[in-house]
Amino acid sequence: MLINYIDTAMEQAVYEIIEDDGTYWGEIPHFQGVWANHKTLEGCRRELRETLGDWIALRLRLNLGIPIIANIDLNHLDNLYEVQHV
């Protein structure tokens, strides 16, 4: 479920080349503070994915809302834990 969420979020990522230094900038709309910058597109994608994972972990720890995407709701992981461990 978490991997599907991250994969789906990454599909929404947008990238651009910063003209000043030729690096790649990436962000995911509706995920405030989730962005990455790297000298290669693949590096930018890698960093963006890692940032997203850290962002999700922090928001879960602080009990802050996480956007629902593709009907995947990570806001109620306690229910997921119970279902998977029965």
Which residue range forms the structural domain that includes residue 45? 2-84
What is the number of domains present in the chain?
1
User: Token pair of 21, please?
Assistant: 């230094």
Question: What mean pLDDT is predicted for residues 21-36?
Answer: 97
- For residue 55, the domain's CATH number is 3.30.160.250
Distance in Å from the first CA to the final CA of the chain? 17
pLDDT in tens, 60-73: 999 999 999 999 99
The answer, as to whether pTM is greater than 0.75, is yes
In degrees, rounded to 5, the angle at the alpha carbon of residue 69 between the alpha carbons of residues 16 and 34 is 40
